[in-house]
Amino acid sequence: MKFKILHESKGRMRIHLIQKPMTFEQADTLLFFLHGQKEVTYAKVYDRTGDAVIQYVGDRDVIINLMQRFQYKNVSVPNGLIENSGRALNRQYQEKLILRGIGYYAKKMFLPYPIRVCMNAVQAVRYIWKGMKVLAKGKIEVPVLDATAIGVSILRRDMNTAGSIMFLLGIGELLEEWTHKKSVDDLARVMSLNISKVWLDTGDQQILVPASDIHVGDHVVVHMGNVIPFDGIVMHGEAMVNQASLTGEAQPVRKKNESYVYAGTVVEEGELTIQVKEVGGSSRFEKIVTMIEESEKLKSGAESKAEHLADKLVPYTLGGTVLTYLLTRNVTKALSILMVDFSCALKLAMPISVLSAIREASLYHVTVKGGKYLEAMAEADTIVFDKTGTLTKATPTVAEVVSFNGMESDELLRIAACLEEHFPHSMAKAVVNAAKKKNLIHEEMHSKVEYIVAHGIATTIQDKRVIIGSAHFVFEDENCSIPDGMQNIFDKLPQEYSHLYLAIDHVLAGVICIEDPLRPEAETVVSTLKKSGFTKVVMMTGDSERTASVIAKKVGVDEYYSEVLPEDKAKFVEAEKKAGRKVVMIGDGINDSPALSAADVGIAISDGAEIAREIADITVGSDDLFQIVTLKLLSDSMVKRIHSNYRFIVGFNTVLLLLGVGGMIQPTTSALLHNTSTLVIGLKSMNNLLT
């Protein structure tokens, strides 16, 4: 790709691509490519000008080389990303705003006054009718004020004021609609599926294939804890399916033969084979948008309070207008009050602040599923970390395989990988990746695989029961034994590693030693979170007391709990909430799901189990725990902005009221200043919170 550098500073460059006018698809493809580069920390692509702004770390020559080698055709973009990117939406609303402004001023400059009067009268009917409908329901809300202000101006034959009010109201409506729709679409997009591979049932065996290879009519197997990748009909199996991502209802639904299942829902228990009915990427997106629009999920407490307060203030504004007229008999002074309404600004600024914060979070690879979770994050005082894959690296590695039955270590690893690949977790991925590195290719050699949450996996190979999992599962639940003469080797297993135990026919066959190193940033993140307002930092893990104590000491948590089950984590969260604390839970596995669901804010690591990501309220990237610190700063900043907006709205509009009642400004000026301040604070609320 040919390009030229327009501007450059340390760690940042603006480039212009030398090509034909850039299409929306090309702009989104380039943006997706840039976001996928580890050297790029931030990128923005301007389709109108064909420019791109790139912020990066490291050597500039690496970025230049990346762009020189870039070709649109070589980038594989996930289904639905380009179709629902929001670029067309932005262009549409930008043009609407420009045309609205040009039309208003052209009308004033070129149309005769009588024609303008007729046009304003026709336009006023919509606002007056809307106000009458609200009044007919026995409510006095903002539309009533708008209708009254416009109606009184028309009765006074002040058509210029009526026209100005309607123009400013129209601009405000457009801005609110644009910001809301964009934020909802952004949220829906990041909630959309990003499934790269699925299990295809060929009849003889199950094979892992790219999702893009699946066609309508294919049979796909979905194991427990995984997301259903396509809409389809259940052909075999029975399962409890969590449909919260589409319906907002967390109670799982039983699915069996001939039941219809939807893409994006999660198999909580059981296993399903589905016949694919729809493979398009847009249907899932549209369903999520509908769910968000119809639910209260986006609304924070501050938004709801602002809306209720706004509606409560309307009768007082109307009453103040009437009282001022009765006391002064001055229509001008009374109208000055009517033109200033607190509720309009409150209703516009608060949702925009929240939705913009959600949008900004996505720039840091943080997915927030609703404004109330940002608010809860700002208020939280207790944070609970899972250990494996959260405080420790998301990519643990196999350090050693110890054989206890005479089999080759590679053969034991091959069997383990064959089982573990069905249930993605950081430990399971370590086993699968180790087998891949050694080119230990395997065919499906087992019967149906059963996953026992927080314990392990069980199946049958050649009529022998094969299990892999924790010591508790293997030796206590399954009553497996250590082969004769091997106790000494067992006692000398390296203590610095986590252990996965593989047993065949109730006898220990091998132990897989997994190195699970602490994230280098973990200690600093915990320390920073304490300084940012968390008074209690807890670590909970199903790992042994020995391993847990070492990690807890290194990280600096206030409390830690070892060898806990999923229900123990959830019970701890519930107990903390009953004690009056606001709790944040961070995890990545299927076993963390109950606690993620129970917490005020559940945060999942993006590289973890699919069910954890679906149940969680917020998802952060797998490569850097500092995103949690960023999330905390963003949440605190959002709450501060909301309070700042509230003080400004109340203060500024109170001054306008006093000036109007004192006869120091005319109603037209009052309306102009009020509506202009509302738009300004709305636009200001769209700005990024963090620099």
Triad 303, 309, 310: Cα angle to 5°: 85
Per residue in 633-672, pLDDT (tens digit) is 999 999 899 888 888 888 887 888 788 777 787 766 776 7
Q: What is the pLDDT of residues 460-515, one digit of tens each?
A: 888 889 999 888 889 988 899 999 999 999 988 887 788 889 999 999 999 999 88
Q: Are 656 and 665 spatial neighbours (Cβ–Cβ below 8 Å)?
A: yes
User: Which of 288-297, 546-555, 583-592, 604-613 is predicted with the least confidence, judged by mean pLDDT?
Assistant: 288-297
Position 388 pLDDT exceeds 90: no
- The closest of 544, 201, 192, 145 to 339, measured between CA atoms, is 145
pLDDT range class, residue 248, cuts 50, 70, 90: low
* Lowest mean pLDDT segment, chosen from 30-44, 214-228, 239-253: 239-253
CB 584 within 8 A of CB 380: yes
Question: How buried is 158 (Cβ within 10 angstroms: 0-12 exposed, 13-18 middle, 19+ buried)?
Answer: middle
Contact call for residues 273 and 219 (beta carbons, < 8 A): yes
**Residue 469: its H or E element:** strand 464-469
- Domains in the chain: boundaries: 3-77, 90-188+297-354+636-685, 197-280, 367-392+519-620, 397-515
Task: Give me the mean pLDDT over the 529-536 stretch.
Answer: 94
What CATH code is assigned to 197-280? 2.70.150.10
- Give residue 500's identity as a one-letter amino acid code: L
Please tell me the class of the 3-77 domain: alpha beta
Q: Find all residues with CB under 8 Å of 575, minimum gap 6, and list them.
A: none
Rg (Cα) of the chain, in Å, rounded? 30
Find the range with the poorest average confidence among 61-65, 544-548, 636-640: 544-548
Which range in 47-51, 300-304, 476-480 is most confidently predicted, on average pLDDT?
47-51
For residue 532, the model assigns a pLDDT of 92
The β-bridge partners of 502 are 468, 510
pLDDT at 193 over 60: no
Question: DSSP letter at 230?
Answer: S
Structure tokens at 244: 């919260």
Cβ–Cβ under 8 Å, residues 561 and 538: yes
Q: What is residue 283's three-state secondary structure?
A: helix
Q: Which helix (H) or strand (E) holds 456?
A: strand 456-461
Say whether 420 sits in a helix, a strand or coil: helix
Q: Is the pLDDT reported for residue 293 higher than 50? A: yes
Q: Which CATH superfamily is domain 367-392+519-620 in?
A: HAD superfamily/HAD-like (3.40.50.1000)
What percent of the chain clears pLDDT 90, i.e. is strictly above it? 28
What pLDDT does 621 receive? 76
Determine the Cα–Cα distance for residues 499 and 690; give it in Å rounded to an integer: 42
Please, which pLDDT band fits residue 307 given cuts at 50, 70 and 90?
low
Please say whether the beta carbons of 669 and 336 come within 8 A. Answer: no
Res. 380: pLDDT tops 90? yes
Mean pLDDT of 313-342: 75
Both tokens of residue 26? 């090309």
Could you tell me what percent of the chain has a pLDDT over 70? 84
CA angle 131, 132, 134 (to 5 degrees): 65
pLDDT at 556 over 80: yes
List all residues 6 or more positions away from 225 whose beta carbon is below 8 Å from its beta carbon: 266, 267, 268, 423, 451, 590, 609, 610, 611
Split at pLDDT 50, 70, 90, the class of 250 is: low
Q: What is the pLDDT of residue 129?
A: 93
Kind and range of the H or E run holding 269? strand 266-278
Band of residue 344 on the pLDDT scale cut at 50, 70, 90: low
Work out the average pLDDT over 406-410: 91
Task: State how far the Cα of 18 lies from the Cα of 4, in Å rounded to an integer.
Answer: 7
Tell me the average pLDDT across 306-318: 69
- Residue 679 has what pLDDT? 72
Q: Which of 76, 91, 69 is nearest to 23 (CA)?
A: 91
Q: pLDDT tens for residues 578-636?
A: 999 999 999 887 778 788 888 999 998 877 666 677 778 888 876 678 999 999 999 99
Is there a contact between 401 and 510 (Cβ–Cβ < 8 Å)? yes
Among 331-335, 359-363, 510-514, name the most confident range: 510-514
> What is the architecture, at CATH level 2, of domain 397-515?
3-Layer(aba) Sandwich (3.40)
Residue 488, CB-side half-sphere exposure with 13 Å CA sphere? 1
476 token code pair: 């206590």
pLDDT, tens digit, for every residue of 669-684? 776 787 677 778 877 8
Mean pLDDT of the chain: 82
What is the amino acid identity at position 212? S
Q: Of residues 527 and 281, which shows the higher confidence score?
A: 527
Q: Are 596 and 572 in contact (CB under 8 A)?
A: no
Measured CA to CA in angstroms, residue 110 lies from 103, 107, 114, 123, 168 at distances of 10, 6, 12, 18, 20
Instruction: Determine whether 304 is exposed, middle or buried from the number of CB atoms within 10 Å of its CB (0-12, 13-18, 19+).
Output: middle
What value does the mean pLDDT take over residues 283-296?
56
What distances in angstroms separate CA 84 from CA 25, 79, 282, one per listed residue?
10, 10, 8
Alpha-carbon distance 289 to 283, whole Å?
Answer: 10
- 3-state secondary structure string across 566-617: HHHHHHHHHHHHHCCCCEEEEECCHHHHHHHHHCCEEEEECCCCHHHHHHCC
Residue 348 predicted with pLDDT over 80:
no
Q: How many other CB atoms are there within 10 angstroms of residue 202's CB atom?
A: 10
- The mean pLDDT value for 445-470 works out to 78
CB atoms within 10 A of CB 520: 9
- Is 50 exceeded by the pLDDT of residue 296? no
* Strands (DSSP E) found in 506-555: 507-515, 536-540
Higher pLDDT, 103 or 206: 103
The mean pLDDT value for 414-425 works out to 80
CA 580 to chain centre: 26
The token pair that represents 423 in the structure block: 């249930």
Average pLDDT value for residue range 300-329: 71
Is the pLDDT reported for residue 281 higher than 60?
no
Q: What is the pLDDT of residue 202?
A: 83
SS3 6: strand
pLDDT digits (tens, 9 = 90+) for 104-147: 889 888 889 899 889 989 999 999 999 899 888 888 777 887 88
Query: What pLDDT does 295 receive?
Result: 47
H helices of 44-158, in order, are 60-69, 87-110, 113-136, 142-155
- Other CB atoms within a 10 A radius of the CB of residue 44 amount to 14
Above 90 in pLDDT, residue 572?
A: yes
Question: H/E element holding 15?
Answer: strand 12-17
196 pLDDT more than 70: no
Which residue pairs, CB below 8 angstroms and at least 24 apart, start in 210-218? 211/79, 212/79, 214/276, 214/279, 215/276, 215/279, 216/276, 216/277, 216/278, 216/279, 217/275, 217/276, 218/275, 218/276
Measured between alpha carbons, how far is 184 from 176 in angstroms, rounded to an integer? 12
